[in-house]
Amino acid sequence: MGMDMEVTELLTFPALLALLVFVLSVPFITKFVKTRKHPNLNLPPGSLGWPVIGETFEFLRRGYEGEPELFIRERMEKYDSRVFKTSLLGEPMIMFCGAAGNKFLFSNENKDVQVWWPTSVRKLLRSSLVTKVGYEAKTMRKLLMSFLNPEALKNYLAKMDTVACCHITNHWQGKEDVLVYPTVKLYAFELACCLFASIEDAILVFKLSPQFDEFLKGVISFPINLPGTRFHRAMKAADAIREELKLIIKKRRVDLEEKRASPTQDLLSYLLVTSDSSGRFLTEKEIIDNILLLLFAGHDTSRSVITSVIQYLGRMPHVYEQVLEEQLEISKGKEAGQLLQWEDIQKMKYLWNVASEVMRLSPPVTGSYREALNNFTYAGYTIPKGWKLSWSTSSSHKDPAFFPDPDHFDASRFEGAGPTPFSYAPFGGGPRMCLGQEFARLEILVFMHNIVKRFKWWLLIPNEKFLHDPMLKPSKGLSIRLQPLQI
Ligand code: HEM
Ligand SMILES: *[C@@H]1O[C@H](CO)[C@@H](O)[C@H](O)[C@H]1NC(C)=O
């Protein structure tokens, strides 16, 4: 997700860097030479940049400046607005642009293309869904969906609301100023611990949290497993979390057997008691790796959206007022202390339109990857088998053909039928679309409901920049001043 990697850190180890560049270069240079060897192939236009590095630094620079879409837009203008070639992460890569590009990639899964993730992701998340394709992926997705579908998630709404209320009481109530991004992290992490593995013991949460941070930092990084690299620390952290999960699983199996745990109490129970359509249960390794995957995929993404929504509402009082009105209407019908119900969530239409418009303008994820399964033609160009392909959220989200006056915030774009299919893709699309969309929707709505009805806020740095690292995040953490509301 996103294509960032740790550059600054590598540069602090010059000797290591030299060694790594050497070790790394051999396969990449071979690949590079091979890719350039097809002068008579009608490849999409574009530049492969420098050997090995390709255009990675240019891409990273745009991301750090908070404008990853410029990298893509510049090349769409220079080469072809439909598709161009570049080289990122040591891989020659073809960028599919706009809604048509999304449509092509999302509709051709398992035909001309299939999902692909950078090496660091695959090495850290081993036997999880991200390394599976075809039939295996389909059955594993179905299993994970047994916990993540709306019907199942209904049962966890009360827990989400409780975690959100506790979080606000502990970290927001009585504070004058809050640094939003690190604070919302606590909510996202506590929620994941609670719903994925019923880890509610504060000491264990506290112990896992820094390990989890190390892990997250390395998921998208240069996959070099040598002491001192981000990737190495992430591998070690992942192993420590795996050990912890192993102990939890061991205890859970006994508890399930002796009916002290419920088979539907959390994701872990689901994965232990549910088999796929052929009767196969996930192995312990697969369960652990999938829990790690969901922790990774669901953490910084939702947190990024919540933080962006807080910034947009701080900037646009009229939108805040309208959100507040909707949320107070929902609270009015409830007794003091009564938790949110499923029907309440369905009434948060305006709030979700606002969040959707925020994800259009500030998508947390820049895009994802596919791989060509065959030689095929797209827009008149040859796409060779084995090449890595990518799509981007920004190239269609800011297309005036689908979103008139594209830089203008307008939540009403999501009323009625909403955007044209494939023009809006914060969660990707097709058979490999995000599995956590409904989970994220609930997580965001429940949090915003609780914050909006308790506080008004001001942005202490009014136009704070957001940048990609690799998910979109505020460059200074988003400081706000709180004013409690009397309700
Ligand atoms: C606002 C929050 C989120 C955004 C914007 C987001 C976005 C994405 C995107 C763009 C992809 C790639 C889709 C593709 O290649 O077509 C993806 C994949 C995925 N997401 Fe999310 N995501 C979010 C939250 C979550 C949450 C909360 C979870 C889990 C609880 C989750 C689990 C996953 C998984 C498992 C995949 C891989 C699916 C597969 O390979 O089949 N995501 N997400
Ligand atoms: C794909 O195209 C290349 C270059 O023209 C050719 O060498 C190769 O045999 C083709 N592969 C398939 C599977 O058609």
> Three-state DSSP class for 364?
coil
In single-letter form, the type of residue at position 180 comes to V
Instruction: Measure 374 CA to ligand 2 centroid, in angstroms.
Output: 8
Can you give the pLDDT at residue 7? 44
Can you give the pLDDT at residue 202? 85
Instruction: Measure 304 CA to ligand 1 centroid, in angstroms.
Output: 13
The residue whose C-alpha atom lies closest to atom 6 belonging to ligand 1 is 427
Q: Which residues line ligand 2 (CB under 6 A)?
A: 375, 384-385
The residue whose C-alpha atom lies closest to atom 3 belonging to ligand 1 is 301
Backbone dihedral region for residue 377 (phi beyond 0: left; psi -120 to 50: alpha; all else: beta) = beta
Instruction: Measure 42 CA to ligand 1 centroid, in angstroms.
Output: 34
Domain 7-484 CATH assignment equals 3.30.413.10 = no
Can you give the pLDDT at residue 60? 79
Q: Which residue(s) pair with 459 in the sheet?
A: 480
More confident residue, 68 or 251: 251
Instruction: Measure 109 CA to ligand 1 centroid, in angstroms.
Output: 16
More confident residue, 385 or 206: 385
**Using an 8 Å Cβ cutoff, are 352 and 441 in contact?**
yes
Q: Which of 121-125, 203-207, 329-333 has the lowest mean pLDDT?
A: 203-207
Instruction: Measure 40 CA to ligand 2 centroid, in angstroms.
Output: 12
Q: Which ligand is nearest to the CA of 306?
A: 1
Instruction: Measure 375 CA to ligand 2 centroid, in angstroms.
Output: 6
Three state DSSP letters for 437-472: HHHHHHHHHHHHHHHHCCEEEEECCCCCCEEECCCE
Instruction: Measure 443 CA to ligand 1 centroid, in angstroms.
Output: 14
Residues with Cβ within 8 Å of 349's Cβ and at least 6 positions away in sequence, in order, are: 326
Q: For residue 309, give both structure tokens.
A: 């929504």
Q: Which ligand is nearest to the CA of 156?
A: 1
Question: How far apart, in Å, do the first and last CA atoms of the chain sit?
Answer: 41
Can you give the pLDDT at residue 356? 98
The residue whose C-alpha atom lies closest to atom 9 belonging to ligand 2 is 375
pLDDT band at 3 (very low <50, low <70, confident <90, very high): very low
Q: Which residue(s) pair with 370 in the sheet?
A: 115, 389
Can you give the pLDDT at residue 69? 81
More confident residue, 118 or 236: 236
pLDDT band at 59 (very low <50, low <70, confident <90, very high): confident
Question: What is the H or E stretch that residue 141 is in?
Answer: helix 134-148
Instruction: Measure 301 CA to ligand 1 centroid, in angstroms.
Output: 8
Model pTM greater than 0.85?
Answer: yes
**Using an 8 Å Cβ cutoff, are 383 and 372 in contact?**
yes
Q: Where are the domains of the chain?
A: 7-484
pLDDT band at 73 (very low <50, low <70, confident <90, very high): very high
- Per 3-state DSSP, the chain is made up of helix, strand and coil in percentages (nearest 5) of 55, 10, 35
Can you give the pLDDT at residue 15? 47
Q: Which ligand is nearest to the CA of 440?
A: 1
Question: What is the H or E stretch that residue 182 is in?
Answer: helix 180-197
Q: What is the mean pLDDT of residues 238-242?
A: 96
| pLDDT exceeds cutoff 60 at 28 | no
Q: Which residues line ligand 1 (CB under 6 A)?
A: 115, 129-130, 141, 293-294, 297-298, 301-302, 305, 364-365, 368, 426-429, 432-436, 439-440
What string of DSSP letters covers 321-362? HHHHHHHHHHHHTS-TTPPP-HHHHHT-HHHHHHHHHHHHHS
pLDDT tens digits along 30-47:
555 666 656 678 999 999
Q: What is the mean pLDDT of residues 129-141?
A: 95
Q: Please state the atom number of ligand 1 nearest to the C-alpha of residue 106.
A: 16
Can you give the pLDDT at residue 141? 96
Mutational test site, ligand 2, from 40, 42, 385, max ligand atoms within 8 Å of CB:
385
Q: Which ligand is nearest to the CA of 38?
A: 2
The residue whose C-alpha atom lies closest to atom 11 belonging to ligand 2 is 375
In single-letter form, the type of residue at position 182 comes to P
Can you give the pLDDT at residue 343? 96
Tell me what the pLDDT averaged over the chain comes to: 91
Provide the 10 A C-beta neighbour count for residue 412.
9
Q: Which ligand is nearest to the CA of 35?
A: 2
Can you give the pLDDT at residue 11? 41
Q: Which ligand is nearest to the CA of 42?
A: 2
Mutational test site, ligand 1, from 142, 294, 427, max ligand atoms within 8 Å of CB:
427
| pLDDT exceeds cutoff 90 at 468 | no
Mutational test site, ligand 2, from 375, 377, 381, max ligand atoms within 8 Å of CB:
375
The residue whose C-alpha atom lies closest to atom 27 belonging to ligand 1 is 298
- How many angstroms from the chain centroid is the CA of residue 66? 17
